[in-house]
Chain A
């Protein structure tokens, strides 16, 4: 792939705009609350698009296209089984506690509901994970540019990290959120022509269904047995592992996304943020899953004349991660090629900025202020937040080089993330909906859940990974293994939390008002329009999602 002047010009215009946004927002930053929390003043349409966009990093975009090519339409389960239901649950049931408690972060909610040790455990693991995620995003960006465009690895890291540093340092969370919205439109509008051209070239959806094995074009039909579908899992593992534990664990408790809803103007907007975000999310498979399915179709014997192929790796296997870049290289001429590459750059940088802005909030509020330096002036914490931004970027650069040195560090870290995130939802579910849950129950439940995840991984083997205790159970795909590990870790956490809670003393009811469902007055809204109410939109969303699952059954 070779870029020309026009392509570079488009990339330069994008860089100019993202840095410009930082300078524009800088004038609004007066306090730590402005810098780290956007002063809870962001309009609903922006929080909603930022909510979905925070998850639309390049690892997500490249990964979903890759999964589309590898597993076919089953990849839509991440959206139509996982994300939508979890986002609706977050909006309807959990946002009133996050927003209403006036917590500035997810770990701070844990301190209000439980205690400081649970908050510290969550804050430290989250801070480490965000820095590593940001670094791996940076590494993946530089690697992609090196392989596809033959750009210098070190220079790519320096430019990308430098630009993210400038706009997050100047404008804090607001700047990151505004750029996430720009990134969302850039990805959707930048990749839509690719989907249209490639789909047309492949002969449309009917041709795809003819060319591919039926397992690749039916979302549910072959889920009865793990041996009948490319993902190697049955519908129970999918619904419980992905649909419940992993998706609810991510969408409902990960501060990176929840933070976007917490900066809305009021509780109604905060509740509607994930619900409005679920509307475009429902249709994202058209942009990030369909291209993968098209790509694998174009490699079928009848369509070989189209001249497209997914590159192979050193082992001679298809390198699915390169599916999207190869489609862009194959179909985009100079001009729109610059837009496609900019969309990829934007998603990498936005993913990094999202992690850094979540990191600086958690570090400042939940680690520094909570455990080291209390009762200082607001200006002090504003400066700490800015310093945390700089160090977050520097740690990300270090992590990017660590990732470069160790081939499997990404897999290892993703595994650790799943160990930590998987069980977390049990803590929140019990904490918000069972007032008997105690601080000790939450803390030991979290630790037990993580331990259960590690043991499950050690006893299962998938694609050569896991089985480090004893490979007693073999699973067809790594993704299927992740669902099973998440499911067991969640059960481990749930059972431990309940047992320890029953054996320890709970907080009195008056300390839990606003933090637990049964002790909190439900918010009432004075509005007559159904589409501004949380519940009616949620019901419509769920019905449409069910219809989509039936259509692509």
Chain B
């Protein structure tokens, strides 16, 4: 895990993964406003974050 933090793609993926969790949690817990944009953005961030974390790259 610590080694992976040296890879920028993993760090970026982890960031978007964390943001997606916040957005989706906000969507699930909120019922006051139209939150569809949080749902769709959360899903896209989740997919992007996961791909970036799993990406094999050549950086040292």
Contacts and interface: CB of A to CB of B under 8 A. Distances in A.
B44 to A, nearest CB: 7
A193 interface: yes
Contact of B15 (A6, A17, A41, A335): A17
A178 B44 CA distance: 22
A336 B59 contact: no
B37 A13 contact: no
B22 A9 contact: yes
A266 to B, nearest CB: 13
A89 interface: no
B15 A182 contact: yes
B23 A335 contact: yes
Interface residues of A, number: 28
Interface in A183-240: 185, 189, 193, 197
A6 B42 CA distance: 13
Contacts of B18: 13
Interface string A2-16: 000010011001100
Contacts, number: 73
A339 interface: yes
B22 A14 contact: no
A333 B45 contact: no
Given A335-B27, A336-B23, A43 B59 contact: yes
B21 to A, nearest CB: 10
Contacts of B26: 6, 334-335
A46 B45 CA distance: 20
Contacts of B60: 41
Nearest to B44: A189
Contact of A10 (B19, B30, B40): B19
Contacts of B23: 335-336, 339
Interface in B4-49: 5-6, 8, 11-12, 14-16, 18-19, 22-23, 26-27, 30, 33-35, 37-38, 40-42, 44-45, 48
Given A43-B57, A43-B59, A185-B16, A336 B11 contact: no
Nearest to B45: A189
Given A13-B15, A43-B58, A334-B30, 17 more contacts: A6-B22, A17-B14, A43-B59, A182-B12, A185-B16, A185-B48, A189-B41, A189-B45, A189-B48, A193-B41, A332-B37, A333-B33, A333-B35, A334-B33, A335-B42, A336-B37, A338-B22
**7 A-B pairs with least C-beta separation:** A335-B26, A335-B38, A43-B59, A6-B26, A333-B33, A17-B15, A335-B23
11 contacts: A10-B19, A21-B11, A43-B59, A46-B8, A182-B11, A189-B45, A332-B37, A335-B26, A335-B38, A336-B23, A339-B41
